[in-house]
């Protein structure tokens, strides 16, 4: 009996998604709750589990198609055994590879699948395999669940010996034309739904808000000394590493209390002020940066903040962040310093009115007590909506951050 696989509920106000990748193919056996496809929403990638054990009977939609919540995307032959998967798998391979089959045979290209050892490839990876003539079954994948990526294929192609095709060509065939040196290639890849949403929201911010950026710098000496002194005890007691974000989030909460306009937002012809701080923090995920929210950050200790950020980071890499964890947020902190950024002008995330940009720490000459000395310095950038926040308030906010970081005792005595 065939069982329909439908698009699950994706969260409040989300009605559609993009079919990012099929993880199973017709004829393959699946277990109940085993992921068979990944969906890309406006915020995260969501895996679709098999509702029952059996064999994939049909894939109703293709990769890259837009699907609505509740739509049927596949059918499973419930109760079927793995032995019944052989014939459908061959049919599916022929269907997927019609374009390759119609093209002239390329002896150097390894098959995408070998008998008894199927390899599931995305379209871009499949093209790379055919283009570079590598055997995907001999490449170790670095993607999620060990799946191959395009970079894996290109790296493998660079390490394998180049075929002596020119030497093997018959001497009587001088008309053969070799590929031109320095051949330039282009590849068109459809934007993910996440990237489309990011592009739309950033452009909306520029079109709507009067964005201005104010800079300051901060001497990181005191925070670095405190971190080096207590990091081992901190990790032993709290089970998480002591980083710099805990200090900056705590300092931001204090500064936002003193300058509430930076934590406010414009709704129509009204300004909404808040007595709580929900800090959005950017963390790395397989498909790019995601921005989960630390709720009521003003009530958390540095340890509580670090634990929350560590949990977000681990679940972002595993793809298990929930949609509701990335909604809302009253203020954003973006740490481009981890990627080596010296200075930037971050764009606010509407309806928020401010975003604090952190950058890399490097030793620079500064004057202390009339002497030129080297100090670990960081540039801070506050981008803000000038419709709501005046320059005086922006500078006051940054100075409050600077004072708290350069003298962390202020964080303890709430000064």
Domain boundary among 165, 185, 217: 165
Q: What is the mean pLDDT of residues 7-16?
A: 73
Please determine, for residue 327, whether its predicted confidence score (pLDDT) is greater than 90: no
Catalytic residues: 386, 390
C-alpha span between 220 and 63 (Å, rounded)? 48
Q: Is 396 inside a domain boundary? A: yes
pLDDT at residue 165 tops 50: no
CATH code of 285's domain: 3.30.559.10
CATH code for the domain in which residue 86 is found: 2.40.50.100
Strands in 250-359 per DSSP E:
265-267, 270-272, 279-281, 283-285, 288-290, 293-294, 331-335, 354-358
Examine the pLDDT at 96 and tell me if it is beyond 50: no
Q: pLDDT for 151-161, tens place per residue? A: 777 888 877 76
**Domain annotation covers residue 182:** no
Confidence (pLDDT) at 415: 72
pLDDT digits (tens, 9 = 90+) for 115-145: 344 556 665 677 677 777 777 777 877 776 6
**Same domain? 140 vs 209:** no
In terms of domains, do 263 and 121 share one?
no
| 183 part of a folded domain | no
Is residue 174 situated within a structural domain? no
Same domain, 7 and 150: yes
Task: Name the band, by pLDDT with cuts 50, 70 and 90, for residue 100.
Answer: very low
For residue 284, being part of any structural domain is answered with yes
Query: Can you tell me the distance from the alpha carbon of 91 to that of 356, in angstroms, rounded to the nearest whole number?
Result: 54
Give the residue numbers spanning the domain of 60: 2-165
How confident is the prediction for the chain on average, in pLDDT? Answer: 81
Which residue among 123, 147, 165 closes a domain? Answer: 165
Q: How many domains does the chain have?
A: 2
pLDDT on residue 280:
94
Assigned domain for 189 exists: no
| Residue 178: inside a domain | no
Instruction: Give the predicted TM-score (pTM) of the model.
Output: 0.64
Give start and end residues of each alpha helix (H) in 209-285. 221-238, 245-258
Cα angle 304, 313, 154 (rounded to 5 degrees) comes to 165
pLDDT score of 297: 95
124 in the same domain as 78: yes
Tens digit of each residue's pLDDT (9 = 90 or more) over 228-285: 999 999 999 999 999 999 999 999 999 999 999 999 999 999 999 999 999 999 887 7
318 and 408 in a single domain? The answer is yes
Region of 46 (left: φ > 0; alpha: ψ -120 to 50; beta: rest) is beta
For residue 284, give the nearest of 339, 350, 357, 340 by alpha carbon: 339
Considering the domain architecture, whether residues 200 and 335 belong to the same structural domain is answered as: yes
Whether 149 and 250 map to the same domain: the answer is: no
- Boundary (domain end) residue, out of 110, 145, 165: 165
Task: Give whole-number Cα distances, 369 to 78, 159, 366, 372, 373, in Å.
Answer: 78, 57, 10, 8, 10
Percent of the chain with pLDDT over 90: 40
In this predicted model, what pLDDT tens digit does every residue of 305-326 receive, in sequence order?
999 999 998 888 887 888 788 8
Peptide bond into 268 cis (omega under 30): no
Query: Does position 163 have pLDDT exceeding 70, yes or no?
Result: no
* Residues 122, 217 share a domain: no
Give residue 18's pLDDT.
Answer: 84
Q: pLDDT tens, 342-378?
A: 999 999 988 999 999 999 999 999 999 999 999 999 9
User: Which position has the higher pLDDT, 137 or 57?
Assistant: 57
Same structural domain for residues 256 and 365? yes
Residue 129 counted as domain residue: yes
Residue 94 confidence class, pLDDT cut points 50, 70, 90: very low
254 and 143, same structural domain? no
What's the confidence (pLDDT) of residue 99?
A: 43
My answer on whether 141 and 198 are in the same domain is no
User: Any idea of the CA torsion for 414, 246, 199, 11, to the nearest 10 degrees?
Assistant: -90
Closest-CA residue to 312 (of 337, 282, 338): 282
Question: Do residue 147 and residue 237 come from a single domain?
Answer: no
């Amino acid at each position: 009996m065939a069982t329909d696989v439908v698009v699950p509920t994706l969260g409040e106000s989300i009605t559609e998604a993009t079919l990012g990748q099929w993880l199973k193919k017709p004829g393959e056996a699946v277990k109940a709750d085993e992921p068979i496809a990944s969906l890309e929403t406006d915020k995260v990638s969501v895996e679709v589990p098999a509702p029952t054990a059996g064999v994939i009977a049909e894939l109703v939609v293709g990769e890259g198609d837009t699907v609505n919540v509740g739509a049927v995307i596949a059918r499973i032959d419930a109760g079927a055994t793995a032995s019944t998967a052989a014939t459908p798998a061959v049919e599916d391979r022929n269907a997927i590879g019609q374009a390759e089959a119609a093209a002239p045979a390329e002896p150097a290209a390894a098959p995408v699948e070998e008998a008894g050892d199927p390899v599931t490839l995305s379209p871009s990876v499949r093209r790379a395999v055919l283009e570079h003539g590598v055997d995907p079954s001999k490449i170790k994948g670095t993607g999620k669940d060990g799946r191959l990526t395009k970079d894996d294929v290109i790296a493998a192609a660079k390490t394998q010996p180049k075929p002596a095709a020119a030497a093997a060509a018959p001497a009587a065939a001088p008309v053969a034309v070799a590929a031109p040196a320095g051949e330039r290639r282009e590849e068109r890849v459809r934007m993910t739904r996440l990237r489309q949403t990011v592009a739309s929201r950033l452009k909306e911010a520029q079109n709507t808000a009067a964005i201005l950026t104010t800079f300051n710098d901060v001497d990181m000496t005191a925070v670095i000394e405190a971190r080096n002194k207590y990091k081992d005890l901190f990790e032993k007691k709290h089970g998480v590493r002591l980083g710099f974000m805990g200090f900056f989030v705590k300092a931001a909460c204090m500064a936002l209390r003193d300058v509430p306009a930076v934590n406010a937002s414009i709704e129509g012809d009204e300004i909404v002020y808040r007595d709580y701080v929900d800090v959005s923090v950017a963390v790395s995920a397989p498909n790019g940066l995601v921005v989960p929210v630390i709720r009521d950050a003003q009530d958390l200790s540095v340890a509580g903040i670090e634990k929350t950020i560590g949990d977000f980071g681990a679940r972002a890499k595993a793809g298990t962040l929930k949609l509701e964890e990335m909604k809302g947020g009253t203020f954003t902190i973006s740490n481009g310093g981890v990627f080596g950024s010296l200075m930037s002008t971050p764009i606010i995330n509407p309806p928020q009115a401010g975003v604090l940009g952190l950058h890399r720490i490097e030793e620079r000459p500064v004057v202390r007590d009339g002497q030129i000395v080297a100090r670990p310095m960081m540039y801070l950038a506050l981008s803000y909506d000038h419709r709501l926040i005046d320059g005086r308030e922006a500078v006051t906010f940054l100075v409050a951050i600077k004072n708290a970081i350069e003298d962390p005792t202020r964080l303890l005595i709430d000064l």
